[in-house]
Amino acid sequence: MTTSENIAEKSTGTDTTAEGSDSTGAADYAESRETTEGRIYTVSGGDWDDVIGDAEHDERMIINMGPQHPSTHGVLRLVLEMEGETVTQLRSVIGYLHTGIEKNVEYRNWTQGVTFVTRMDYLAPLSNEMAYCLAVEKLLGIEVPRRAALLRVLLLEINRIASHMVYIATGGMELGATTAMTLGFREREEALHLLEHLTGLRMNHAFIRPGGLAQDMPNDFHEVVTAFCKVMDERLPLYDKLFTGQPIWRNRLKDVGYLPVDACLSLGVTGPVLRSAGLPWDLRKVEPYSCYEEFEFDVPTSTDADCWARYLIRVEEMHQSLRIIRQVLQKLEPGPVMVEDKKIAWPAQLSISSDGMGNSLEHVRKIMGQSMESLIHHFKLVTEGFKVPPGQVYVPVESPRGELGYHVVSDGGTRPMRVHVREPSFVNLQSMPAMSEGGLVADVIAAVASIDPVMGGVDR
C-alpha cells in the first residue's frame, strides 16, 4: 500500500464529507487527481496528527552521489538509501562514458587496436597495451625479442608507480588531506615525464605493439631511469612520515570498507583489494609473463581487509616496482625490440624528423629507395595490416587495479573479430555495497577511493 493510500485511509471521518465520497455515506475519502507521477490525494479532515505520526518513523532518504561528484572518480554514480548517516543500501550506476572501445577495435587492424585499448584504463595505459599485444602474439604464435620483453616490464612498473600515486593523491584529496594530493601528483609528474622521454607521450602511448615495441629506448634512458629511481627512493619515505605515521590518517582508514577474503573471492575482486584480505594473488608471481619469473620482488599482503591495509599495500608495491626496474637495467643487453618478420613488424625502426613528428627524410628515402615492391609491401602492411590465424585466447596481466584480461577472437582476417576485456575496475566495483552498507556515508568515500576505480575501463 502506497503512502498516498495510507494518507487517504487516515483522512476518512464522519464529521466531514469530502468531495468524491461514497453516495451511501459508508466511507468518506480525500479528493484525488491523476498526475504523470501517479494518483495524488488532498487530505481534508480526519485525524491529521495520526498521519504525521505514521510518517515520523520513516527517516530513510535517497541520495545521489555523482555522477559528477569529485569523490566518485569521474563519472560513477552511487545511489544511496540512508537512515540518518547510515547507508542501508547502495547501488552503483555506470555507463556515463560509453566509449565503445571494444566495438571500435573490431573496425581497425590488429596494430591500430593498440591505439584504442590504451585509452581504457587511462591511468594504466601500458597494462592494456601489454595484455592486448600478448593476446595477439599468442594467436600469431610468436615471441618478442628478449630486449623488448624486458623493456615492457620496465615501462609497466614505471606506469604502476604513476597509477598508485594517483590513488594516494585523489584518495587523500577526497578525505581532506590536500597535502596528499599535491605530493602525489608531484611524484606522478616525475613518472609521466620519464614515460614521455622514453615513449614520446605522457599517457595513451601505443608504444607496446604486436611483435615488440614501436622503437628502442633513447640513448640516455639508462641514466634517466636511474635518476628517477633515486628521486623516488628519497621521496617515498616521506609518505610514511606524513601519512602512515599520522594518527588522523590511520583512524580515518582503519576498519573502514571491510571486505574479507571470502567476499573478495565470491565477487571476483583482485589486485590490492584482494591482497589486503590476505591472499597473495599477483599474476606477476603466480602466472608470470614477459620475463617476470626472473625478477626478485615481494607481494605485500595484509589480513586487515580494510582501507588502511590497501593504502599500505600500494605504498609497498611502489617500493617493489623500483626493485624490478633496477633489475631490468642490470639484465638489459643490446638487441632488437621488434620481431624480424617484416610481415608483422610495423612500423619499421622509426627516425623522428627534426620537428619531432613523423618520419625523417632519411627514413622515407630508405623505404622508397629499396624497391617498388618493398614500398608496396610497407603501404599494404600499414593500411591493411597483417593476418592473424583463426582462434581465440585469453591473456591476463596484473594491472595496478588487479587482473586485466583480454579475450581476443580472430577469424583469420586483418581485424579482430571480437575483443572483450576483463576489466578489474568493473569487477571490483561489485564490492561497493558489501563495503559500504551498514556504515556511514562519509566512509563510502574512503571505500571508493580504496578500490581506485578508473571509469574509462569500466565504461569501455
pLDDT digits (tens, 9 = 90+) for 95-116: 888 888 989 999 988 888 899 9
- pLDDT under 70: residue ranges of the chain: 1-30, 37, 41-58, 69-73, 346-361, 363-364, 366-371, 374
Beta-carbon contacts of 427 under 8 Å, excluding residues fewer than 6 positions away, are 267, 268, 269, 270, 402
- Residues 408, 418: Cα–Cα separation, whole Å: 6
Task: Tell me how far the alpha carbon of residue 341 is from its chain's centroid.
Answer: 34
Which pLDDT does position 35 carry in this prediction? 79
pLDDT the model gives residue 319:
93
Q: What is the structure's pLDDT at 34? A: 84
| Structural contact between residues 396 and 131, judged by C-beta atoms closer than 8 angstroms | yes
Residue-level pLDDT at 195: 92
Q: Chain centroid to CA 435: how far?
A: 18
327 and 295 Cβ atoms separated by less than 8 Å: yes
So what's the pLDDT on residue 398? 93
Q: What is the CA radius of gyration of the chain?
A: 29
Name the DSSP letter for residue 25: S
CB 184 within 8 A of CB 175: no
> Distance between CA 460 and CA 457 in Å, rounded?
5
* Domain parsing of the chain, residue ranges: 1-58, 92-100+142-341+432-458
Note the pLDDT of residue 372.
Answer: 72
Distance from C-alpha of 345 to C-alpha of 111, rounded to nearest angstrom: 10
Residue found under cell 487517504: 8
Q: Which secondary structure element, helix H or strand E, spans residue 98, and what is its range? A: none
Q: Does domain 92-100+142-341+432-458 have CATH number 3.40.50.2000?
A: no
Q: Is 361 exposed, middle or buried (0-12, 13-18, 19+ CB in 10 A)?
A: exposed
Q: Indicate the pTM of the whole model.
A: 0.81
